[in-house]
Amino acid sequence: MKKFTCLCFLLLGLVSPIRSQFIDMTPDSVAQEPVDSLKIKFNLGVQYYNQERYWDALHVFEAINGVQESRNHMLTASGLMLMKTYLRLGDLDPAIQLGREFVLIHKDSKYVDDVEYALGEAYLIKGLYSESIYHYLNVMRLTNVERLRKLSKQTLETIIDLFVDTEKLTEIIENTHEDYQKIFLTLKLAEKYHIDGNTRQAEKVLRGVRGMIKGSNFSSEYVQTSERLKNRVQEKIYIGVILPLTGQMAPLGNGILNGIRYALNQYRAYHDIDITAIAMDNHGDVVESIKKVEYLCNNPKIMAIVGPVSSENTIAVAAVTNQRKIPQITPTATSSEISTLGPYIFQANVDFENLGRFLGKYSTEVAKVRSVASLSPADEFGKEMTDAYCRSIDEVGGRIVSQQWYHDPENLKIQLTGIREVGLDIIQKNLEEKIEAGKQKLVEYTMSDSLWLTDSIYVDIYGDQYRIFTTDSVYITDLNHALILTGIMDSAEFKIPKQDSLEYRIHSIDGLLVPAYASDLKMLIPQLEYYNLSAKIFGSANWNDAKLLKKHPVIARQLTFISDYYIDEESRFYKTFKRDYTRLIGSPPGRFDLYGYDTMRALLSVLDEGESSRETIRKKLTQMPTYRGICKNISFRGNRPRVNSCAFIMKMENNIVKPVAAIENGDLTTYTPR
């Protein structure tokens, strides 16, 4: 019988509110006043808590708790929230003290299960596993909330598997007097003996608890454990996940986590590998990221780490993962320096350097540009992408005619005027070179025996004068007019303004790189139009805004940009995925949900029924065939080791932004829709 993957997320360092954020909590006793001042104050504290203003929330809940009990109908609600606020502030001792007092004094409160859960979390963070197990078991025994019971059970199973050996678990069982707790823990002890290869002892332990099962809630668990002991021990794999699940970057982190959850849920239906993901909240903070990765690396059962999301946090974590030799995949970090930190860090995003290099490759090989200017933000993103793009142009003999940098996208007069002036200089220089070539051509004709340029045009040169004889006229003129009269050059070629005029369209620069931020575009695009440049525009994925591009059709026609993601929302494949995802997760997938999904699926693709160690996973990732995902393709076998080398070249056609080419393993190829 196939054992499905355990889809468990142990949220270490994050106390998740179980009831709906307590926005409308009702007290254990009924409010007695028409104007409920305490509840108003309580709701303000909850508002601060939800806004992560924990110090403000702490002051509010402390004030409520200070109200005399006989007049305080919000006492238990504020007591729970005060405890949770201390946990969010990382002040564990007062949180534990409050929780222990709560379950003694308010043992009949409807919030006891939430308090027990928070106590389990607090002891877990402190590394006091026996105490943590005790409180999670209390939650399972007391709660009527099925979601809370399941979450406690999953967390318990992970704690026992990761942090408690058979000797310690036996000791915990011996000190337990509740039948409910003893049965649950004994079943887990039998499983641990089986995993350790001591199936005979596992069967003995299971027989010892058989008499207690009758009339309990564990009949089905007992049967399942008995069945497991008959089968070979299955490999269990733990994946650490470090994401910002609270703080300013929480929407991004939680979206990625939802995608990871769905990837594991899909995987379990088809693979006989037991996988658990342990999600840890780093709050988007470097120090927290280091603490979390140290915690994960210390446990040899953690085989790989997904995250963090920012380049700053990823660099900090990569320093640890490379030292501890555990593979790490970041789904979103884009700094070009990350891959240089060591052989255990992988970037599922295309970094800035590869984005610039691949776009430059398309510019020269397909768009055929030879002269290029750039207009880039003066930061790491702009510099790394621009430098890589320009190097790729240089390598094939192209010219970088102007590099302009900006801090303020609102006023680009100096930068765009500079590009126009360079363009005018190129036009003037090209004109002078063409005039000189035409002059030499005229001289060659005058030195020939016939002196005839054509059957009807005769050329003679006397000093600075050029005499042009036609069948019915004779012209004595200067060089420029001689070139026009003889048809060597067109009169329009001489119409270059002596001073720059914005009415004159600059056409002497083939390409203009503009790797702008999405927030810059509304200010930047009108300026590009105003300064009248005819160059092909090349940009980053931030240009992927069909609504904005429709308002600027001239710019849209000039534009080509690179993106490491593309979602074909009209494809049958994606519509099916979206339907199934929404059904399980409860909301449709966003961009970052898909980042999490594709990153985890790429990692899961290298796992199989054979050995899975940290080193084998690292080696398999370096050799992994191209993973073709929902929004991105991932390969680490391209031009730079362990950096994704797959991307899409995008254009707007018929008011739809879509790929016109693809990059795979660093090579330009045709795009094939799924």
Please determine, for residue 531, whether its predicted confidence score (pLDDT) is greater than 70. yes
- Domain membership of residue 481 (yes or no) is yes
* Range with lowest mean pLDDT among 107-111, 191-195, 355-359: 191-195
* Banded pLDDT at 453 (limits 50, 70, 90): low
Answer yes or no: do 139 and 61 share one domain.
yes
Please determine, for residue 162, whether its predicted confidence score (pLDDT) is greater than 90. no
Across all residues in the chain, what is the average pLDDT? 88
Q: Is 220 exposed, middle or buried (0-12, 13-18, 19+ CB in 10 A)?
A: exposed
Please determine, for residue 2, whether its predicted confidence score (pLDDT) is greater than 50. no
Answer yes or no: do 267 and 394 share one domain.
no
Please determine, for residue 35, whether its predicted confidence score (pLDDT) is greater than 70. no
* Range with lowest mean pLDDT among 313-327, 343-357, 374-388, 446-460: 446-460
Answer yes or no: do 474 and 450 share one domain.
yes
Q: What is the pLDDT of residue 163?
A: 84
Q: What is the pLDDT of residue 353?
A: 95
- Domain membership of residue 47 (yes or no) is yes
- Domain membership of residue 11 (yes or no) is no
Answer yes or no: do 63 and 187 share one domain.
yes
Number of domains observed in the structure of the chain: 4
Answer yes or no: do 437 and 521 share one domain.
no
- Domain membership of residue 623 (yes or no) is yes
Residue 515 contacts residue 353 (beta carbons within 8 Å): no
Answer yes or no: do 145 and 41 share one domain.
yes
Q: What is the pLDDT of residue 455?
A: 57
- Domain membership of residue 520 (yes or no) is yes
- Percent of the chain having pLDDT more than 70? 92
Answer yes or no: do 74 and 218 share one domain.
yes
b/e code 57-86 from CB counts within 10 Å (16+ = b):
bbebbeebbeeeeeebbbbbbbbbbbbbbb
Please determine, for residue 34, whether its predicted confidence score (pLDDT) is greater than 80. no
Residues facing residue 652 across a β-bridge: 657
Secondary element (H or E) of residue 170: helix 166-174
CA dihedral 576, 580, 583, 584 (to 10 degrees): -160
- What are 113-133's pLDDT values in tens digits? 999 999 999 998 888 999 999
Q: Is 172 helix (H, G, I), strand (E, B) or coil?
A: helix
Q: What is the pLDDT of residue 6?
A: 38
* Banded pLDDT at 13 (limits 50, 70, 90): very low
Answer yes or no: do 553 and 622 share one domain.
no
Please determine, for residue 360, whether its predicted confidence score (pLDDT) is greater than 50. yes
Residues facing residue 459 across a β-bridge: 468
Q: What is the pLDDT of residue 7?
A: 40
Q: What is the pLDDT of residue 32?
A: 46
Q: What is the pLDDT of residue 127?
A: 83
Which ranges of 346-485 does DSSP label H, i.e. alpha helix?
Answer: 352-365, 380-395, 413-446, 479-485
- What are 239-289's pLDDT values in tens digits? 999 999 877 888 899 999 999 999 998 988 788 777 889 998 898 999 999
Answer yes or no: do 204 and 92 share one domain.
yes
- Please list, in sequence order, all residues whose beta carbon lies within 8 angstroms of the beta carbon of residue 404, skipping any fewer than 6 positions away: 373, 374, 375, 376, 412, 415, 416, 418, 419
* Banded pLDDT at 28 (limits 50, 70, 90): low
Q: What is the pLDDT of residue 18?
A: 36
Please determine, for residue 58, whether its predicted confidence score (pLDDT) is greater than 90. yes
- Domain membership of residue 655 (yes or no) is no
Residues facing residue 374 across a β-bridge: 403, 513
- What are 616-630's pLDDT values in tens digits? 999 999 999 999 999
Among 201, 230, 259, the domain boundary falls at 230
Among 494, 528, 547, the domain boundary falls at 494
Residue 380 contacts residue 333 (beta carbons within 8 Å): no
Please determine, for residue 613, whether its predicted confidence score (pLDDT) is greater than 50. yes
Tell me the CATH number at 218: 1.25.40.10
Q: What is the pLDDT of residue 454?
A: 56
What pairing do the DSSP bridges indicate for beta strands 667-669 and 627-628? unpaired
- Domain membership of residue 166 (yes or no) is yes
Please determine, for residue 451, whether its predicted confidence score (pLDDT) is greater than 80. no
Which ranges of 231-351 does DSSP label H, i.e. alpha helix?
Answer: 250-268, 286-297, 311-324
- Domain membership of residue 666 (yes or no) is no
Q: What is the pTM of this model?
A: 0.79
Tell me the CATH number at 574: 3.40.50.2300
- Percent of the chain having pLDDT more than 90? 59
Among 170, 195, 230, the domain boundary falls at 230
Answer yes or no: do 87 and 152 share one domain.
yes
Q: What is the pLDDT of residue 23?
A: 37
* Range with lowest mean pLDDT among 18-32, 196-210, 477-491, 501-515: 18-32
Domain with 127 in it: 37-230
Q: Angle of helix 199-213 relative to helix 219-230, nearest 10 degrees?
A: 160
* Range with lowest mean pLDDT among 9-23, 426-440, 521-535, 596-610: 9-23
Residue 560: Cβ within 10 Å count = 21
What is the mean pLDDT of the segment spanning 222-237?
81
Determine the residue type at 511: G
Answer yes or no: do 398 and 437 share one domain.
no
Answer yes or no: do 54 and 201 share one domain.
yes
